[in-house]
Amino acid sequence: MLLVRPLLPILKFLARLTIVKPYSLLLRHQKYLTNIIKEVGPLQLLRQHQGVLYLVIAGSLLITINSIKIRNVVAEDFGQHNLLFPLIVDEFGNADNNGANNIPAPALPEDAPIITESDNAIIKPHLVATQPSLASRDRIEYYLVQSGDTILGIAQKFNLNVTTILWENNLTARGLIRIGQKLAILPTDGVSYKIKRGDTVAKIAQNYRVAADKITDFNQTTKLALGQIIIIPGGRPLAAPAPAPKPPTQVTTPSQSTSTAVRSSGKLQWPTTRRRITQYYTWRHTGVDIADPVGTPIYAGEDGIVETAGWNRGGYGYYIIIDHGNGLKTLYGHNSKLLVSAGERVTRGQQISNMGSTGRSTGPHLHFEVRLNGKRVNPLNYIK
């Protein structure tokens, strides 16, 4: 009703103009028209007031329909019958299809951005610091993380694999990036390497299993300087060498008890090659989580005897418990493969399994627990 009220004066005016006035004129000359209607047979219907009203309404509808048709003029045809139309150029610099005086669009430089109808740039301009460069790159660049950035999105901006970003910045698939964080961006997929004393191109190529000419061609040099950082195209990070296992210090028979067979020093070795902790020990989380790819070696933290090795239904997945003596035990959970079995003696630094994501796990990592006299304690207090 609120929308109709402003239109009431207009509607009343139109009704007065199209219905009331014609009808009043008809009533004034009713006698004269009656005589004419009597003489003309087909007009007998107009003797009734309803017939006149129907005629007036039909005329109003015809006028309304004609007005609507006039307003629905196709925009493309508007003004085309004007004599000056062939001389007018539209906003895109094109004359009509039949015009002979076509005006060419201005030429753009080769590196200019191409803009689509949706205002999206197909070729983005090169911006420093916060925008990637799609031009050919031959050196490491640095990118400042912006709001809404993800590792996958940054990799796609620079046309790199996600693993290249992760490797170069010591990140894991579960790692977090923060606004303003500076990330090193390699010019191609691979890894960077800092030259050490005694390094040669052939030695580096052999270690990374990459052709030597690829290294020299990409870095445009065959001379290596101490401390120089080079790019190894297609290279992968080298696995940290596993510590040499210590020989067992005591041989026991199956009849000997575990407590007398092993004497723990109380200081444990770090159980894997990486030291990136994704979750710390708390009253709700009974160990530390150390993330790395599936297959990463897991090492025994101390000499001991494997107490348990198998599947755990409580969430650890494939797990191992080692008894180190003096009431000290360690647990290694979520493994992808177990390399030892229950009752087997292991030594400090010996590989006992491969990292995985079995059981209740959100990604590949090692759940490492330390238990003292049956009570779970903070592992970081026992690692050397």
Degrees, nearest 5: CA angle 12-15-17: 110
Residue from 376, 356, 362, 220 nearest 298 by CA: 356
Helix or strand holding residue 218 (H, E):
helix 212-219
Same fold, 141-185 and 190-233: yes
Q: What is the DSSP letter of 20?
A: I
pLDDT by residue for the chain (384 residues), tens only, comes to 556 677 778 777 777 777 777 777 777 766 666 666 555 555 555 555 556 666 777 777 777 776 666 555 444 454 555 555 455 444 444 444 444 444 444 444 444 444 444 444 443 333 334 555 555 677 888 999 998 888 888 988 898 888 888 888 888 766 678 888 899 999 999 999 999 988 888 899 888 888 989 989 888 888 888 888 999 998 888 765 544 444 443 333 343 444 444 555 568 999 998 888 899 998 889 899 999 999 999 999 999 999 999 999 888 999 999 999 888 999 999 999 999 999 999 999 999 999 999 999 888 999 999 999 999 999 988 886
CATH topology of domain 141-185: Membrane-bound Lytic Murein Transglycosylase D; Chain A (3.10.350)
Cα 245 to Cα 336: distance, rounded to the nearest angstrom: 22
**What is the residue extent of each domain of the chain?**
5-71, 141-185, 190-233, 258-381
Helix or strand holding residue 330 (H, E):
strand 328-338
- β-bridge partners, 345: 305
Helix or strand holding residue 154 (H, E):
helix 151-157
Cα 231 to Cα 138: distance, rounded to the nearest angstrom: 9
pLDDT, residue 321, reads 96
Are 265 and 246 contacting, i.e. CB atoms less than 8 angstroms apart? no
Cα 26 to Cα 93: distance, rounded to the nearest angstrom: 60
CATH number of 190-233: 3.10.350.10
Helix or strand holding residue 305 (H, E):
strand 304-312
Query: Phi and psi of 270, rounded to 5°?
Result: -60, 130
Q: Write the class of the CATH domain 258-381.
A: mainly beta
